[in-house]
């Protein structure tokens, strides 16, 4: 049981900690809205990681070939969504560069959760990562139902703790953005990073 717990924590942090487009979007989303919205978005990311961890321990060897058959269209879809987010963020930032209010006042916590959940689910590398980890023996011998449950919950908890930390960082960043110009520069930097990561995702594989 302890082995499954430790393996789940390591797996969750292993997939969550590397900085990517999701992390950049989460931080800047929280900076432009509020901590409640950012925390909801963070839990959406963690939920996707937990679902993929569940798919990995439940599907095992079956999951990897199934995902690999659709990995290319999923990768292109994910890249397209990220590019759309980058373009949307840029246009909105430019339109509201003289507005003293936050960039996304209408975004609800529920929509933030669902949006980041869907965006993270588009990443096929996550399920391949978890499946390869389990098949390689990194699942802490999570062979029984109890061990699998512990592994999945630990992976979710690890991912959630990291994503919530990013959201808190975004909230602190938002407090430092006291002027329209600062928010504009942050939004443009975020959109540029997301577009670059989307391009890298499209060209990889």
Write the DSSP symbol of residue 62.
G
Q: What single string gives the DSSP state of each residue in 82-103?
A: HHHHHHHHHHHHHHTTT-SS-S
- Strands (E) located in the chain: none
* Residue range of the domain that includes 164: 2-203
Prediction pTM value: 0.73
At 37-82, the pLDDT tens digits run: 999 999 999 999 898 888 778 765 565 566 667 667 767 776 787 7
Q: Which residue has the tokens 């061990």?
A: 147
Please give the Cα distance from 145 to 140 (Å, whole number): 13
Please give the Cα distance from 4 to 139 (Å, whole number): 6
Token pair for 85: 């987010």
pLDDT of 201: 64
pLDDT of 106: 64
Q: What is the domain count for the chain?
A: 1
Token pair for 81: 């969504």
Q: Which residues contact 132 (CB under 8 A, 6 or more apart)?
A: 64
What is the residue-level pLDDT of the chain in tens, covering all 205 positions? 777 788 778 878 887 776 577 888 888 888 888 899 999 999 999 999 898 888 778 765 565 566 667 667 767 776 787 788 778 778 877 776 655 444 445 678 999 999 899 888 877 666 667 666 665 555 555 567 788 888 889 989 999 999 999 999 989 887 776 566 766 777 777 778 777 767 776 776 5
Helical (H) or strand (E) element with 23: helix 21-32
């Amino acid at each position: 049981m302890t082995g499954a717990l430790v393996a789940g924590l390591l797996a969750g942090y292993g997939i969550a900690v590397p900085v990517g487009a999701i992390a950049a979007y989460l931080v800047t989303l929280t900076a432009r809205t509020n901590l409640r919205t950012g925390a909801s978005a963070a839990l959406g990311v963690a939920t996707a990681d937990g679902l993929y961890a569940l798919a990995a321990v439940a599907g095992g060897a079956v999951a990897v070939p199934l995902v690999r058959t659709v990995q290319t269209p999923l990768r292109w879809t994910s890249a397209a969504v990220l590019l759309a987010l980058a373009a949307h963020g840029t246009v909105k930032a430019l339109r509201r560069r003289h507005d003293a209010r936050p960039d996304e006042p209408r975004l609800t916590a529920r929509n933030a959760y669902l949006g980041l959940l869907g965006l993270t689910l588009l990443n096929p590398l996550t399920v391949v990562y978890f499946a390869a980890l389990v098949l390689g023996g990194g699942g802490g011998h999570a062979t029984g139902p109890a061990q699998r449950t512990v592994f999945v919950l630990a992976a979710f908890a690890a991912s959630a703790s990291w994503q919530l930390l990013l959201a808190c960082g975004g909230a602190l960043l938002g407090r430092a953005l006291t002027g329209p110009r600062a928010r504009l520069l942050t939004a443009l930097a975020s959109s540029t990073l997301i577009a670059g990561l989307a391009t890298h995702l499209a060209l990889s594989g």
